[in-house]
Amino acid sequence: MFCKNCGAALDDNADFCPNCGVAVNQDKLANDQQKTATNAIAIVGFVLSFFIGLAGLICSIIGLSKAPQYNGKGKGLAIAGIVISCLSMILSLSLFAN
């Protein structure tokens, strides 16, 4: 592999060019960032599930579907969000029914 900026020979696993310091292997970097990123939508869904059942359910389902992109992060949280949002919707329905 060679640096796209200065043409120096690089180690295949190098993230930065030792000659000019430019970030190389952008695909790997982007992939690593995605893997370490937080599955924010799963957290949002989990929090919302306590207050707004339907919104929490939707966000949790999205969070669950996106979990594989985040190396499985947020999967448990998303499932918990789905369960809690269902329970809170049932609870609010039974409150309204009375």
- Tokens at 40, concatenated: 């924010």
Distinct helix (H) and strand (E) counts, the chain: 4, 0
Q: How far is the CB of 22 from Zn ion (least distance, A)?
A: 5
Q: Does 9 bind Zn ion (CB under 5 A)?
A: no
Q: Is 5 helix (H, G, I), strand (E, B) or coil?
A: coil
Q: Candidates 2, 19, 37, 72: give the one binding Zn ion (CB under 5 A).
A: 19
Largest Cα span, the chain: 74
Q: Does 6 bind Zn ion (CB under 5 A)?
A: yes
Residues that bind Zn ion (CB under 5 A): 3, 5-6, 8, 17, 19-20
